[in-house]
Homo-oligomer: A and B are copies of this chain.
């Protein structure tokens, strides 16, 4: 998933970039109109985060350029302006979403993810970890090239772990992520043990090491060794 971030405030540009890199996106930066235009014509991006208030040109023109050269690229407009007109103009011209400064990075992240979902960019993309490969477009996965028969919950569990590799995930966060509103928190979470067991069993059967490590009293971690 390749993202171009167009933002003239250097500090904010760096903040966003390092945050999104940490979320496992491939990021490139552009801090001027011409830099952005150049990169947009030369390379293909899945998503462009576009500040429309640039000092040396209008972001709206960049939006037109994007839609002309690669109509499948998703555009998330960032603006400090309070004008509703900007918002509407942007959305009319084909932007996919709009976020007003200041914003929390978490919100930016969630908008990017909802954009990915809506547009099904996932089509071109795979998520990998050693011998395991996940294909979001078809919601399937393979181990050493052999397909794993995963149920919906197991698939979601695997994706959640693989996209948060090397991080300890608590049962609470797993429950929140996979079940959301449907689950009353502070319940027993017993079912997670079951799903973990089933997922481990299926991955093991196809020859993957047990990456799903139990961190006693803390949660689980998906990692090597």
Q: Which residues of A contact B (CB under 8 A)?
A: 80, 82-84, 87, 100-103, 117, 139, 152, 156, 181-182, 184
Q: A117-B181, A181-B117 are in contact. Are A102 and B84 (CB under 8 A)?
A: yes
Specify which chain B residues have a CB less than 8 angstroms from the CB of A152 in the assembled complex: 182
Q: A152-B182, A182-B152 are in contact. Are A102 and B82 (CB under 8 A)?
A: yes
Question: How far, in Å, is A65 (CB) from chain B's closest CB?
Answer: 26
Specify which chain B residues have a CB less than 8 angstroms from the CB of A84 in the assembled complex: 102
Report the separation of the CA atoms of residues A212 and B139 in the bound assembly, to the nearest whole angstrom. Answer: 33
Taking a contact as CB atoms under 8 Å apart, the answer to whether B83 and A82 are in contact is no
Question: Besides the contacts A80-B82, A100-B100, A100-B103, what 9 more A-B pairs have beta carbons closer than 8 Å?
Answer: A82-B101, A82-B102, A83-B102, A87-B102, A100-B102, A117-B181, A139-B184, A152-B182, A156-B182
Kindly report which residue of chain B lies nearest to residue A85, judged by CB atoms.
Answer: B102
Specify which chain B residues have a CB less than 8 angstroms from the CB of A100 in the assembled complex: 100, 102-103
Kindly report which residue of chain B lies nearest to residue A137, judged by CB atoms.
Answer: B184
Report the separation of the CA atoms of residues A182 and B87 in the bound assembly, to the nearest whole angstrom. Answer: 30
Specify which chain B residues have a CB less than 8 angstroms from the CB of A182 in the assembled complex: 152, 156
Report the separation of the CA atoms of residues A102 and B85 in the bound assembly, to the nearest whole angstrom. Answer: 10
